[in-house]
A and B are shown apart, each in its own frame.
Chain A
Amino acid sequence: MTDHSDTENPSASGQHIVQGSSEFHGLSREIIWLVIKNFLLNIVTLGFYRFWARTNVRRYLWEKMHIFGSPLEYTGTGKELFLGFLMIILVVFVPVAVINVAIGSLGPTLHPAVAGTYSLLVTVLFFYLIGVATYRARRYRLSRTRWRSIRAGQTGKGWTYGLWQLLLSSLMLFFALILPYKNMKLWRIKMQNTHLGDRFFVFDRDGAARQTLVTLYLSYAVVAIVVIMVYALPFIAVAMTLGLEVFSGTMSEAQIQAQVELNLQNNSGLLTMFGMVWPVSLVIFAVGMAWYKLKETRLLVGLTSFEDLKISFDATLLSFFWLYLGNIMIVLLTLGIGFPFTQVRFARFLANHTNIEGQLDLGTINQSADDDLTSGEGLAEAFDMGAV
């Protein structure tokens, strides 16, 4: 939380200049009956109620999120989500299925190269569409978000964003070190296109992005070195117990098998090594990536500003860990029905760890032209990307 004293300012009515913080007033127990109702209607409608269910939960989450004392408002509808979903099924999935059937029936007569190229194309297309979907889903959610009667929104083209994401992600395959650059680039595109009314968010007002990128690369290098070392451990363990020959390629599979059997019988610790090292390395990898991701989020948020407001994010790895652990428990214990409770926890986490410095002149923010979106999140729905 910030230490501003005027956070409890329920309505900034008549005031020009406001300041304060973000607060989330929602409680999981307040949506128990909503969650149960959604679950029941989902069963009765064989799952088709999900679009309306998601909308109901969002409406609650939004109106409990207060910024400078004023709540957000969610104006999206279940119908829009449903129509978007239907549209994508018709425009993307049906054509692909038809072509698949056609290719399948032509199968034996087709040159293998043609079939191979086709399946590669479809794979690339789907990766590309996931990028487009992420961007469009964000645009839909922002365009259905209001604060103090002012609509938010996102400009820019999903198709362009999808291309960037596809390009940078496929470069990752050959050059994993591009990750910090990739994430900053994608964040920049999203933020520079985000607006509240007629005022846009600004990325890197003070020209510190380059310096931040260097810091990000240093953190990434630390994680990479730790991960590589941990991944090397099992091989070192094997080499130590079985001797280096096993990697030289001179031993036959049967010989290696015999070596392993021998070691197992002698109980020389190989099994324990293998048994321990892999889970440990996975945990270290996960913790390392979480640490990096959190650091990246903090730095990227820090580079983002709106008017005279500077935003910062101060979540620690431990608090993030508790949030995640609790959410996993909720999902497991409720067989997933309680998922909205995790969204409430997440929203509270975001509000508690986001600080807003500076003052905002409300008089400068005016309504922008209506976004002409008529349906929402079709692609994201179709890819089952249920986001907050």
Chain B
Amino acid sequence: MTQAEYFDGQSALSQNVRVHIEGTSLVIESSKAGPALARWLLHDVRWISGTDKPILSSASAPDARLILMDISLADELAERYPELKGNVPTAKSQKTHKKAWTYGLAAAALTIAIFVAVPWLSGPLAQIVSEDWRKNLGRQSVEQIETLLGKRCENEPGQTILTNMANQLVGHLPDPETLHVGVIDNRMVNAFALPGGYIRFMRGLIKEANSPDEVAGVLAHEIGHVALRHAEEQTFRQLGYEIVLSTIADSGALTEIAASAGVQLISAAHSREAETAADLLAIDLLKKSDISRKGMVTFFDRIEKMEGKSPKILKYLSSHPATGERKKTAEANIDSGKAALSDADWQALKKICD
């Protein structure tokens, strides 16, 4: 016999009742004398909730509620219907608190695995993917970018001059790969390396450059990215983070901002490393090709002026190393060397988009 509070499903008023199991039914009787108020078949009984006191309902009377004052009846029901046990706060289910630790450890392990493993795995993955896959990815990205930013400039002999310059530089790599170098008709001062050896300059950069050495410096830097497979690595990293982000970005805009800010910081740190590595390789390639490193220095110098004096915090957020730092790296390795292009070739390259 268990004391309970009973709502008949019609009114907000409740009644004090006594509850007991009789055969296959749960019998609900008023504490005062009188006939049973309700009989619920045991297999109709549903657990509604019960962190404090178990609350029951019945499939036959879904609006009715029965709040048990005594947990023993709940234990008895759970015994008879083991399938209900998971939802019942019986004495036995206190074990779930132990489970919490297991979940906690698993979550911590997974979080670490993701934030450490994604960057850690994407590097080696980028090295082992097949040539075809990389070239395909690169071709697709280039097509997309060219529809967004502008058509390719293919004026001769500018294109051939650029290709030759790239081949000369890449020839000094132990394992030279086929490059696809081009210029996009866009006024931005920029250049980038895509997967599969695709390198694109913006027209703005060629126009803005004061000497062929500057173009050679940037080209060597992008070849550095290609050789180190940075674009491929970036693709894998992005993919990994996107999977993680899609799972936690569930709770509104603030969460998404916080999460992507975290990822932004991690990947910015990563790209800074990548940029420095590409710089070092570029210096090596320029040296071996006997091209003056001065162009690289003067170019970084000018970028710094264009950027102005931005606060230090931007250094941590931006994906490129602070240009001051880059200049030092390049300057430390400055050496004599010949000009990257003859005057005539340089003038021809400048006209690649005209």
Task: Give me the interface of A with B, judged by CB distance under 8 Å.
Answer: 11-14, 16, 30, 32-33, 36-37, 39-40, 42-43, 46-47, 50, 53-54, 59-60, 63-64, 71, 73, 146-151, 197, 328, 331-332, 335-337, 339-340, 362-363, 365-367, 384, 386
Contact yes or no, A46 B100, CB < 8 A? no
Complex: A37 Cα to B107 Cα, angstroms: 8
Contact yes or no, B251 A149, CB < 8 A? no
6 closest A-B pairs by beta carbon, nearest first, are A336-B255, A339-B251, A33-B100, A149-B7, A365-B12, A149-B65
Q: Which residue of A lies closest to B57 (CB)?
A: A149
For residue A32, which residues in chain B have a CB less than 8 angstroms away from its CB? 100, 104
**Looking at B48, B246, B255, which has the most chain A CB atoms within 10 Å of its CB?**
B255
Q: Which residue of B lies closest to A66 (CB)?
A: B52
Contact yes or no, A36 B107, CB < 8 A? yes
For residue B65, which residues in chain A have a CB less than 8 angstroms away from its CB? 73, 146, 148-149
Q: In residues 236-258 of chain B, which contact A (Cβ within 8 Å)?
A: 243-244, 246-252, 254-256, 258
Contact yes or no, A13 B258, CB < 8 A? no
**How many residues of B are counted as interface, with CB atoms below 8 angstroms from the partner's CB atoms?**
44
Contact sample, A vs B, 27 pairs, CB 8 Å cutoff: A11-B5, A12-B14, A13-B14, A14-B13, A14-B14, A33-B96, A33-B97, A36-B103, A36-B107, A40-B107, A42-B250, A43-B247, A46-B247, A59-B49, A60-B51, A146-B65, A149-B65, A331-B251, A332-B258, A335-B259, A335-B262, A336-B255, A339-B252, A362-B13, A363-B13, A365-B12, A367-B11
Contact yes or no, B251 A386, CB < 8 A? yes
**Looking at B10, B96, B107, which has the most chain A CB atoms within 10 Å of its CB?**
B107
Contact yes or no, B248 A367, CB < 8 A? no
Task: Give me the interface of B with A, judged by CB distance under 8 Å.
Answer: 5, 7-16, 48-49, 51-52, 55, 63-65, 67, 96-97, 99-100, 103-104, 106-107, 110, 243-244, 246-252, 254-256, 258-259, 262
Complex: A13 Cα to B252 Cα, angstroms: 40
Contact yes or no, A331 B255, CB < 8 A? yes
For residue B106, which residues in chain A have a CB less than 8 angstroms away from its CB? 36, 40
Complex: A197 Cα to B12 Cα, angstroms: 9
The verdict on A33 contacting B244 (CB below 8 Å), with A13-B5, A13-B14, A50-B250 known, is: no
Contact yes or no, A13 B251, CB < 8 A? no
For residue B243, which residues in chain A have a CB less than 8 angstroms away from its CB? 46
Q: Which of B49, B64, B96, B256 contacts A149 (CB 8 A)?
A: B64
Kindly provide the distance from the CB of B79 to the nearest chain A CB, expressed in whole angstroms. 24
Q: Which residue of A lies closest to B11 (CB)?
A: A366
For residue B13, which residues in chain A have a CB less than 8 angstroms away from its CB? 14, 16, 362-363
Contact yes or no, A336 B254, CB < 8 A? yes
Complex: A13 Cα to B256 Cα, angstroms: 46
Complex: A146 Cα to B250 Cα, angstroms: 26
Contact yes or no, B11 A63, CB < 8 A? no
Kindly provide the distance from the CB of B147 to the nearest chain A CB, expressed in whole angstroms. 13
For residue A64, which residues in chain B have a CB less than 8 angstroms away from its CB? 51
Contact yes or no, B255 A148, CB < 8 A? no
Contact yes or no, B247 A47, CB < 8 A? yes
Complex: A362 Cα to B107 Cα, angstroms: 46
Kindly provide the distance from the CB of B101 to the nearest chain A CB, expressed in whole angstroms. 8
For residue B67, which residues in chain A have a CB less than 8 angstroms away from its CB? 11
Kindly provide the distance from the CB of A180 to the nearest chain B CB, expressed in whole angstroms. 26
For residue B15, which residues in chain A have a CB less than 8 angstroms away from its CB? 13-14
For residue B5, which residues in chain A have a CB less than 8 angstroms away from its CB? 11, 13
For residue B255, which residues in chain A have a CB less than 8 angstroms away from its CB? 331, 335-336, 339
Complex: A289 Cα to B100 Cα, angstroms: 41
Kindly provide the distance from the CB of A56 to the nearest chain B CB, expressed in whole angstroms. 11
For residue B246, which residues in chain A have a CB less than 8 angstroms away from its CB? 46-47
Contact yes or no, B10 A367, CB < 8 A? yes
Complex: A151 Cα to B57 Cα, angstroms: 14
Contact yes or no, B14 A336, CB < 8 A? no
The verdict on A148 contacting B247 (CB below 8 Å), with A40-B107, A362-B13, A363-B13 known, is: no
Kindly provide the distance from the CB of A102 to the nearest chain B CB, expressed in whole angstroms. 20
Contact yes or no, A336 B259, CB < 8 A? yes
For residue A30, which residues in chain B have a CB less than 8 angstroms away from its CB? 51
For residue A339, which residues in chain B have a CB less than 8 angstroms away from its CB? 250-252, 255
Kindly provide the distance from the CB of B298 to the nearest chain A CB, expressed in whole angstroms. 23
For residue A365, which residues in chain B have a CB less than 8 angstroms away from its CB? 11-12
Q: Which of B11, B254, B259 contacts A328 (CB 8 A)?
A: B254
Complex: A146 Cα to B65 Cα, angstroms: 11
Q: Which of B12, B16, B100 contacts A150 (CB 8 A)?
A: B12
The verdict on A362 contacting B11 (CB below 8 Å), with A43-B247, A335-B262, A367-B63 known, is: yes
Contact yes or no, A43 B103, CB < 8 A? no
